[in-house]
Every structure is written in structure tokens, then in C-alpha cells.
Amino acid sequence: MSPLANLVGMQYRIDHIENLKADVFDLITFPPLKIKGNVDDFDWRPFERIYVGDDGDVEMLAPPFQVLQANLEIQNLEDKMEEMAGAPKEAMGFRTPGEKTKYEVQRLENASARIFQSKIAQFEEYFEEPVINAKLELGRRLMPPTQTIGIFDDEYKARIFLDLTANDITGAGRIRPIAARHFAERAEKVQNINAFFQSALGQDEEMKMHFSTVKLAEMFEELLEVEDYDLVTPYIRISERQEAQKQHNAIEEQTQVETLTPSGLSEDDFDGEDILSEQAAF
């Protein structure tokens, strides 16, 4: 018997206990009445007056409240099902007792949105994907021979118009909306890579020499979705540093020349004899 078969059987057991508990709540909220003797008709409600005869009596038959302890039994069954399925609370982002390290806290934070991401993936797969494909198929069938559409050209920063036909939107395969799944997977991959290089194994120089910095830069450019900015060029920082050093040296040289060059001459700098001797020599 597989663990999943056990889970299915235990789920039926939990459903049975939940139904019994709901029945008990109904009996507590609307208990049966024991009517003895001659009793006039009445409505069971607050502040209702009940008129009885000499031997008449109305008694409420309340069930024992100990039945509501079924919640403990249900909790025990759910905990046992999680153990059988191998899905601990940490996998769903719940904090367990005990001191946590940095990596354990990060793992809990990453898992805290796992259920939400799963629901998003379900919504995209079972709702958005059929709607988008049905819309495309309907548009292809009802589309006129030629349809003019306007698009914005990023290169020329202008709006251009194109003629679209039914053959242009016909292809093999299906459209799959993977925006949320795509983003979550990339974000988790970036966090895992950062955690690896911050660990003792990632800080080992013998390990680092096997990783290509150029390929890592290209991978992060793709994961961060910044390809349009053309940020990654192999060893571009070396040439940029060289260009920055050239400009720095040129500015320093210009500053030194301006510092050593006299700002101007005045009449007190020379006397008359020096001027006459210079004229005679000329």
C-alpha cells in the first residue's frame, strides 16, 4: 500500500468526523425538544412563551459537549497525513520551534508563498491558457482577409502600422501563459545562486576557478530580464577602467599645467633697465 493510498483513506476518515461534528453543532444550535402532556403550539425562538397544561412540560435534549473534542482527533490525523506524505510544515513556510540559522530562515521565506504560487499556476494552466487559445482560434476564424494593426517601434520611437492576415497568426503548438511561474522560478534560482556563493563551498577558491564569470554574467542578465539594456559585454569593465584612467590622467595633467602657468604679468614684475636691455638686444 502506497503512502497516497493511506492519505486517501485518512481523508475519508476526516470527512466522516467533520460531518459528525457538523451534525453535533446543528443539534446544539437547534436541539430536539421533548414535549410531555398538553402543550400549546409555539415557535422555538428567544423569549418565546410556552403554555403548558397541568401535566405538560417541554424539555430540551442537548447532546453531550464532549463530542466537540473531535477537533483533536482531526488534528492528529492531519499531522499524521503530513508525515506520511513527507510534507513538513517548513515546506509551506510555517516556522517550527527552535532557533533558526540564516539559511533556514531564507528557506522558510521562500516556501511561504509556495501554496500561493501553486494556485497561480493552476489558474494559468486551467483557466487562462484555454481562454487565450480559444480567443486566438476565434479571432483566426472571424478575422477579415487583411487586418491593419498599430504597434510601437522601440527603435524609432514611433507608431507603425502593419497588415496582418490569418496565416500570420497560425502556427503549430499552443500559447501558454507562464508569466507568474516564469517569474517565481527565476527569482528562486537567483536566490539559490546567491546562497551558494555566500556559503563556505561557494567561497572556496578551488571551487570558484571552475565557474565562468562571463557565463554567470550572461545567466544573470537572462534571469533578471535586462537583455534589452545590453549590459553584459565580456571584460567591458577593463576597457571602461582604461578609458576612465585616461580621462583622469588628462584632467590631472591639465590641472598641473594650469597650476604652474602664471596668471599674468604686472608693471612691478620688471623695471625699466630690464625693458631697455631687452629692446637693445632685439
- Quick one: average pLDDT of 155-180? 74
Tens digit of each residue's pLDDT (9 = 90 or more) over 186-231: 777 888 888 888 889 889 999 989 999 999 999 988 888 888 888 8
Residue 248 pLDDT class (50, 70, 90 cuts): very high
Per the DSSP assignment, residues forming a β-bridge with 3 are: none
User: Do the domain assignments include residue 70?
Assistant: yes
Spell out where 154-255 has E strands.
Answer: 158-164
User: Do the domain assignments include residue 121?
Assistant: no
pLDDT at position 49 over 60? yes
Provide the pLDDT for residue 246: 93
CB 151, CB 159: distance < 8 Å: yes
User: Do the domain assignments include residue 184?
Assistant: no
Distances 76 to 14, 71, 94 between C-alpha atoms, Å: 10, 9, 17
Provide the pLDDT for residue 267: 55
- Quick one: average pLDDT of 234-259? 90
pLDDT at position 182 over 50? yes
- What average pLDDT does the structure give for the chain? 79
- Quick one: average pLDDT of 159-178? 75
Distances 21 to 8, 32, 70, 79, 112 between C-alpha atoms, Å: 20, 17, 7, 19, 31
Provide the pLDDT for residue 224: 85
Q: Give me the percent of the chain exceeding a pLDDT of 90.
A: 11
Provide the pLDDT for residue 96: 65
User: Do the domain assignments include residue 225?
Assistant: no
User: Do the domain assignments include residue 244?
Assistant: no
Query: Cα(52)–Cα(31) distance, rounded to whole angstroms?
Result: 19
Tens digit of each residue's pLDDT (9 = 90 or more) over 7-26: 888 888 889 888 888 888 88
Provide the pLDDT for residue 13: 87
Instruction: Name which of 115, 74, 78, 119 is nearest 94 in CA terms.
Output: 115
User: Do the domain assignments include residue 98?
Assistant: no
Provide the pLDDT for residue 204: 92
Burial label for 274, CB within 10 Å (0-12, 13-18, 19+), is exposed
- Quick one: average pLDDT of 85-101? 65
pLDDT at position 280 over 60? no
SS3 of 100, please? coil
pLDDT at position 276 over 50? no
- Quick one: average pLDDT of 143-148? 82
User: Do the domain assignments include residue 271?
Assistant: no
Residue 238 pLDDT class (50, 70, 90 cuts): very high
The grid coordinates of residue 180 equal 507568474
Query: How many structural domains are present in the chain?
Result: 1
The residue range of the domain holding 15 is 3-87
pLDDT at position 40 over 50? yes
Q: Give me the percent of the chain exceeding a pLDDT of 70.
A: 75
User: Do the domain assignments include residue 69?
Assistant: yes
